[in-house]
Structure 1
Amino acid sequence: MTRPPGPRVLTDEALSELLGARHFSVLATNRRDGHPHLTTMVHGWDPQTRTVRFFTTADRVKAGHLRRDPRAAVHVQGDDVWSFAVAEGEAEVSEATAVPGDAVGREVLAMLPEPMRPAPEDERAFLERLVEERRVVIRLRVRRLYGTALDVDG
């Protein structure tokens, strides 16, 4: 009787590629009582600085959690349910964008995947909306990357 294959640990390079290839992830923050808070997010990955970036509104629960306790993790699923990457680290929450086109607004714009970016003629309105919504950027400085893949057929 042959044993089924076990999980294969992904290399740092493979984990980085997975984080960059996917735009949706699950962000885990810590509630005051210690329980995790999970939320699906659009993210951007910068492998040079090992930073995962998200944007949200200044008053969202996850932003409050991270201001109080910066420890967080991000889970990204691979091509199938058997592969994943996790990035752990400490996050910082920016100030809310205050002027259309300021540094925070431009950072949000830069992290959007191509299908979500506004057309050039709509960019000003998009940046104005970010100010109205009090958008902030969450920067998760990754200290640890891990994940596995399970090579199975079907």
Structure 2
Amino acid sequence: MELTDTQHEFLTDHHAAAMITIAPDGMPKAVRVGVALVDGRLWSSGTADRVRTGRLRRDPRCTLFVFDKAYAYLTIESTVTILDGPDAPRQNLELFRVMQNRPSGPLAWYGEDLDDEAFLARMSAEKRLVYEFAPQKAYGLG
């Protein structure tokens, strides 16, 4: 499904979210994440060894609960594709440029400012990947 212009605008302005995946026993599991639209695609970052990555490899269904600092929210029921190929470090660079609102220059990473080369090296070392969400249903807002 296509997100509406209003939903796109909300996602452009808000990057805080809860990501809900499904455990093997069927119990929903929530974790706080950052999300952003990158060239119209909804992405979040993770690592190969995260529990949620394993859950998504088993069952790609996921719900995102994107929120503001008050009471507005957007819930997105989706399926997830894990982008973990050789482009994953560069895709993380694109994602964090959007989330940090830094189209150029160094990016902040755990208290350090890293140039592109150092950031890409860190993404590779951490085995960072990107979760790409394909919305199936969206509802909410303020």
TM-score, normalized by the shorter chain, greater than 0.5 = yes
- Give the aligned partner of residue 115 of structure 2: 122
Q: Judging changes above 3 Å, is the alpha-carbon distance between structure 1 residues 30 and 14 closer, same or farther for their aligned structure 2 residues?
A: same
TM-score relative to the length of structure 2: 0.81
Stretches of structure 1 that go unaligned for 5 or more consecutive residues are: 1-10, 97-101, 150-154
TM-score relative to the length of structure 1: 0.75
Give the ranges of 4+ consecutive aligned residues of structure 1 lying more than 4 Å apart after TM superposition: 115-118
The answer as to whether partners of 1:78 and 1:85 remain within 8 angstroms in 2 is no
- Give the aligned partner of residue 91 of structure 2: 107
Stretches of structure 2 that go unaligned for 5 or more consecutive residues are: 108-113
- Give the aligned partner of residue 87 of structure 1: 76
User: Please, what is the CA RMSD of the aligned residues?
Assistant: 2.3
SS of equivalent residue, structure 2 residue 90: helix
1:79 Cα deviation from its structure 2 partner: 4.9
Task: Tell me which moved more, 12-21 or 114-123.
Answer: 114-123
Report % sequence identity.
25
Q: Who wins on radius of gyration, i.e. which is larger?
A: 1
Task: Tell me which moved more, 129-138 or 108-117.
Answer: 108-117
Post-superposition CA distance 1:106-140 (Å, at most 9, x none): 11111112357761872111111111111111111
Name the CA distance, whole Å, in 2 between partners of 1:91 and 1:59.
16
Name the CA distance, whole Å, in 2 between partners of 1:38 and 1:73.
9
